[in-house]
Amino acid sequence: MRRPGNSAEEKNMIHLTRLNHIPLVVNSDLIEHIEITPDTVIALTTGQKFLVRETPDEVIERVIRFRRAIVGGPKSRADEV
Residue 28 has pLDDT above 90, yes or no: yes
What is the residue-averaged pLDDT of the chain? 84
Q: Is the pLDDT of residue 49 over 80?
A: yes
The answer to whether 14 and 64 are in contact (CB under 8 A) is no
Strands 23-27 and 31-36: unpaired
Percent helix, strand and coil across the chain, each rounded to 5? 35, 30, 35
Give the mean model confidence (pLDDT) for residues 28-49. Answer: 96
SS3 80: helix
User: Coil, helix or strand for 10?
Assistant: helix
Cα–Cα distance between 65 and 39 in angstroms, integer?
Answer: 22
Q: pLDDT at position 8, please? A: 46
3 pLDDT band (50/70/90 cuts)?
very low
